[in-house]
Structure 1
Amino acid sequence: MMSLEDKNLVKEETEATTTKWFDQIKLHAELIAALFSGVLIAAGWLLDKNELATASVITYILAFIIGGFAKAKEGIEETIANKELNVEMLMIFAAIGSGIIGYWTEGAILIFIFAVSGALETYTMNKSHKEISALMELQPEEALRVTDGKKEKVHVSQLIIGDQILVKPGERIPSDGKIIAGHTTIDEAAITGESLPVSKDIEDAVYAGTVNLNGSITVEITKSNSETLFQKIIELVQSAQTEKSPSQLFIERFEGTYVKVVLAVVVFMMFAPHFLLGWSWTETFYRAMILLVVASPCALVASIMPATLSAISNGARRGILFKGGVHLENLSHLQAIAFDKTGTLTKGKPEVTDIIVADGYSEEEILLKTASIESHSTHPLANAIIKYAKNTLKQSFLNPESMEDVAGWGVKATIDHEEWKIGKAKFVGAKAAENFANGAAAQMATEGKTTVFVQKNGEITALIALQDVVREETKRAISDLRKQGIYTIMLTGDSQNTGKAIAGKAELDDYIAECLPENKVEHLKHLKEKYTNVAMVGDGINDAPALATANVGIAMGEGSDVALETADVVLMKNDLPRISEAITLSRRMNKIIKQNVVFSIIVITFLITSNFLQFVDLPFGVIAHEGSTILVILNSLRLLRS
């Protein structure tokens, strides 16, 4: 006998399966209705062939109702809401008109193909929405909160900044935070698109929706649930799906006027040819109905939106988030791109590039003593030296006997009864620093490097050079943009020497150094005057004004919240070559839209002319016109491919 618990489990599973089955039917209802209307058309045609006219007409009427219900409802609702006739209403009139003159088969086929094209448009929309659904399913609904050693499961919406949560191996992280205990490897593919897992230790940031692979970690919440990077991604994609491009807005404005003109011409065609050209009333009305079908701008209306949604979906899948079709469209017109330096072209953190050691000293000893002292310092450059030492040395650091941080100059310490100084040239003796290693410091300064001197018992023993290094992918990104004919320039607040050095390594066309945030805006305005369409790429709060000023603002995904909110495009993986990919995607989209528009206009013009010359019959007119609509949508769906 099955236990009550087992029975309830089976019942729940059955209900879940049934719900999922109904959801699938609901999702594809439009396509199912279109295909069923096709079956009814075939049945109506067979009944007509067997001289069962009444049954045939009833079957065709059912095909009209079932196949055309969704589009008729959409057309009527939009007409009432906008007080403007639309292409759906033209199709309804054309189908009814075909039935009135006895062309039930043609009218039903018109409805069938129109319904299929509508189902294809819905498929494109659903494909785009799928990116959101897939994201939403990644975020856990519950978290294991730890308070005074006690664990309790809570909904993620109850988490507040400062809460501590336990994330076990294999679980998804429920909210943004930083690790305060434990170390692990995180799969961040859902957020950054990076396929390789990332090692995380104490104080490292973790993001909602990413997967904790192999270690238990305690995370301190740093953002409320509504402010997480995960939620921002969802909001960005949702915004992109609802915002229309200039081309789409133009087509929609054009549609209302065009429909009125077509209806006026059709009414004129119902009478004029009979009196002016001697056509019979039957022929006159027949040609008017064909005109109503072939002059409808179905393909033209479907030329833009499916292409735009497909491109946005493609971009979202590759970690390129567009805030709207207008920004995606504008990317193809770019002639120049301005880059911020720190965190955009460079890694944003200084790294040790050179160590010069005085004769008679061991580099390993100098590095060990220097890193041991710097490990007790809070200076930003200290972290870079410590990191370099950890990667180079194979021994643990020493403990200084005494330590003094001299603000603005450096640090003094005693190790093994030896007095050490680490800091600026004037801290260890300006003249001695200037002459050290044949004036190496001056040469490094021209290369944009920061120099730190190491002194032991009053003698300079080493020079350490640090620099915010150019990202590995930067040069490739700039090269790709140059091939696309785009001028590149760096706007940075750093010195002339640093700006020149970084611009040279990145192979930029030009650079402007010593820029304050307001200066960046002014330079950007000058660039717009010269190049018309200019993009700005940045990641910091100070980049926000320039991002807003540019024709297209592009933010790095790991940048500040202000930059993310101000920008029009976000690169989730901080991967600069994605800019070139985004421009290529934009150009592909605009090319496909042009193909669709030109093809639609040619087909409509050809069919209207053929109708006036009495070369085209209603069946061919229906198939050619609606077939062109389906071809346009299928052409747009090519953008879903990478």
Structure 2
Amino acid sequence: MTTHVSEEKQVAAGWTVHLELIAAILSGILILIAWLIGKGGTETLSITFYILAFLIGGFAKAKEGIEETIADKQLNVEMLMVFAAIGSAIIGYWAEGAILIFIFAISGALETYTLNKSHKEISALMEMQPEVAWLLQEDGSTVSVSISSLSVGAKLVVKPGERIPVDGVIIQGTTSIDMSAINGESVPVTKEQHDELFAGTMNISGAIQMEMTKPSTDTLFQKIITLVQNAQDETSPSQQFIEKFEGTYVKIVLFTVFIMMFLPHFVFDWDWTTTFYRAIVLLVVASPCALVASIMPATLAAVSNGAKRGILFKGGVHLEELGSLKAIAFDKTGTLTTGKPVVTDFHVREDADSDKTLAILSSIEAQSNHPLAMAIVAYAEEQGIFARESPQIEDVPGYGLRATVDNEEILIGNPRFVGIEETTVFSDGIVQRFFVEGKTVVFMKDTKGIVAAIALKDTLRPEAVSAIKDLSNLGIRSIMLTGDNEQTASAIATEAGLDRYVSECLPEMKVQRLKELMSEYGSVGMVGDGINDAPALATATSGIAMGDGTDVALETADVILMKNDLTRIPYAVKVSKKMQRIVKQNIFFSVTVIAILIISNFMQVVDLPLGVIGHEGSTILVILNGLRMLNRVN
């Protein structure tokens, strides 16, 4: 239901733009006709056309202003414009009042159009949400059904070129899936039996059968849409201040205008027509339309910018906070590193055959599902060595494996398990170097002694170094929090180019360490996997989840990277900083224009038409300036 309602809102918003623009253009035509008739001397008929221009051009904004005034119980900028137009008509400035309405209507139509443009990404997401699916019957046939009618456990068929209708798993077939709707990654991913599928992604190559695992209203895709919608609806602290300030400012303007209607006549000896006219001009030029429009378009555009690139901000407040970060703390495993150990070195005894030793090692490790064992098997296969035997093994948790091969006992595990001192293995000191480099070393022992040492390492993500460098260029310090020992932590920190690291940091200690960093730096971000780092993510000024599209990441952090790409973090910071610059530019510009117009009006330099152009023109300019946030940030 959420998707359908949102689509209706998008269509309605599109029609609103067209109707407002048509009304504004028609108002302009009526003004031209009234002016031509007035030149011919038919004043009554001319005024009639001006009144029609008032009613047609000003209806939408007047209706909006009255409704908001009633709802909020306070006046707003739309009502200021209505009062100004009515005041112009009262003193006989029909043309000026009509021009005010005309330009205000044009400005309103353009504002609605530009704000709708910032919602482009959510509209594009909605178009990717399928509404029907092919339900697999017991006899093997398929029938097209509405997604809303499906329940968990339903068997579905997805043909090439179709979008995945719901979240689920493949039960038959192999295909390539375009995941860009979820994580912004354009390179297709191969999916096989038992692999997870997400609604809204595109099936490219093969027909597959899948089983539905979540209700259609609870899919990852629908959650992303909801997150973006909520982020666009949630106002930033700056916007909240402006909105609160607007009501007070409008009251001040109205009070000042009331004083202006009388005081200049007695103090400066202005005639009553001039006094009232200048009060009406003040009502126009002092209106805070541009100031009110300084923040929201830029914020919405920034949220859309991030969504397009797989960065989800959970609201304007989190977007603003990113730009103020002085330091970012990183979890190590699965964040700075891939979380998957790989073999970096394989060293054998001088009298041993390397390939034969690796084959025996691989055949033993193939019986275990430990991450280190799987990494060793993968390394052997890369070397063209595949396990053919399946020796019986004994798994000794926390230590290693014991096996018998050709009546010979083989031990594989840590130094204590194989009964050696780390520093005494191999005379060339190579094992000691492995430890200094922060690698995990697994030993293999036969009846003659240690036959091999296998060094493994959880490798850095390919983009980690460049991401840390980019953050450094932005003036942000990078700190790693890891449970690894001092040597491993030091090696990873050096390789990544981190400023600092905290080793032997247990999960329950991360929150305390983070609080210490916040007391030192002020604003500190935390990057984690969204599961065991949840408390730290919640404690940080900005919690950033490396989610790769997981539900846990969506629920945990303030900012979600839908693809595990660390370079998105400095990009998100750049988006925040640029948005703050644009907002400051808009506020400075709008306040300056208001001040100049007010002073010019008091000096009787600016008349009503020019005041209208200056006021409405500045509003349009700040909106267009905010929409620069839709462009890629460099």
Give the alignment partner of residue 387 of structure 1, picking from 374, 378, 387: 378
Cα distance change of structure 1 residues 367 and 59 upon mapping to structure 2, 3 Å threshold: farther
> C-alpha deviations, 1:41-99, integer Å up to 9, x for none?
23332332333333332222222222222211111111111111111100010011112
Give the alignment partner of residue 530 of structure 1, picking from 499, 520, 533: 520
Q: Distance in 2 between matches of 1:421 and 1:183?
A: 39
What's the CA shift for 1:466? Answer: 1.4
Does 1:357 find its partner at 2:329?
no
Does 1:324 find its partner at 2:315?
yes
Q: Distance in 1 between matches of 2:213 and 2:372?
A: 25
Q: Distance in 2 between matches of 1:445 and 1:572?
A: 35
**Which residue does 1:256 correspond to in 2?**
247
* Residue identity opposite 2:462 in structure 1: E
Give the alignment partner of residue 500 of structure 2, picking from 510, 513, 522: 510
**Which residue does 1:425 correspond to in 2?**
415
Cα distance change of structure 1 residues 257 and 578 upon mapping to structure 2, 3 Å threshold: same
What's the CA shift for 1:164? Answer: 4.3
**Which residue does 2:463 correspond to in 1?**
473
Contact 2:80 2:284 in 1 (8 A): yes
Q: Distance in 2 between matches of 1:158 and 1:414?
A: 57
**Which residue does 1:491 correspond to in 2?**
481
Cα distance change of structure 1 residues 38 and 383 upon mapping to structure 2, 3 Å threshold: farther
What's the CA shift for 1:412? Answer: 3.7
Give the alignment partner of residue 239 of structure 1, picking from 205, 230, 238: 230
What's the CA shift for 1:188? Answer: 0.9
Q: Distance in 1 between matches of 2:420 and 2:210?
A: 47
What's the CA shift for 1:161? Answer: 4.9
**Which residue does 1:543 correspond to in 2?**
533
Contact 1:163 1:220 in 2 (8 A): yes
Give the alignment partner of residue 327 of structure 2, picking from 336, 351, 355: 336
What's the CA shift for 1:361? Answer: 3.6
**Which residue does 2:306 correspond to in 1?**
315
* Residue identity opposite 1:261 in structure 2: I
**RMSD value, Cα:** 2.5
Cα distance change of structure 1 residues 115 and 390 upon mapping to structure 2, 3 Å threshold: farther
What's the CA shift for 1:127? Answer: 2.0
The runs of 5 or more residues in structure 2 that have no matched partner are 1-9
Contact 1:556 1:564 in 2 (8 A): no
Cα distance change of structure 1 residues 371 and 167 upon mapping to structure 2, 3 Å threshold: farther
**Which residue does 1:411 correspond to in 2?**
401
**Which residue does 2:594 correspond to in 1?**
604
* Residue identity opposite 1:376 in structure 2: Q
What's the CA shift for 1:560? Answer: 5.4
- How many residues in Structure 1 have an aligned counterpart in Structure 2? 622
Contact 2:114 2:624 in 1 (8 A): no
Answer with 228-237 or 330-339: which moved more: 228-237
**Which residue does 2:366 correspond to in 1?**
375
TM-score, scaled to structure 2: 0.92
What's the CA shift for 1:414? Answer: 4.8
> C-alpha deviations, 1:424-454, integer Å up to 9, x for none?
3333332599414645334323322222223
The within-5 A match list for 1:50-69 is: 50-69=40-59
**Which residue does 1:453 correspond to in 2?**
443
Contact 1:433 1:453 in 2 (8 A): no
Secondary structure of 1:460's match?
strand
Contact 1:186 1:198 in 2 (8 A): yes
**Which residue does 1:125 correspond to in 2?**
115
TM-score, scaled to structure 1: 0.91
Secondary structure of 2:491's match?
helix
Give the alignment partner of residue 167 of structure 1, picking from 147, 158, 182: 158
Does 1:101 find its partner at 2:91?
yes
Secondary structure of 1:244's match?
coil
What's the CA shift for 1:474? Answer: 0.6
What's the CA shift for 1:591? Answer: 0.9
Percent identity, please. 61
* Residue identity opposite 1:447 in structure 2: E
**Which residue does 2:263 correspond to in 1?**
272
Contact 2:597 2:611 in 1 (8 A): yes
Secondary structure of 1:51's match?
coil
Secondary structure of 1:547's match?
helix
Secondary structure of 1:575's match?
coil
Secondary structure of 1:196's match?
coil
> C-alpha deviations, 1:304-351, integer Å up to 9, x for none?
111111111111111111111111111111111111111111111112
Q: Distance in 2 between matches of 1:131 and 1:405?
A: 52
The within-5 A match list for 1:287-302 is: 287-302=278-293
**Which residue does 1:12 correspond to in 2?**
none
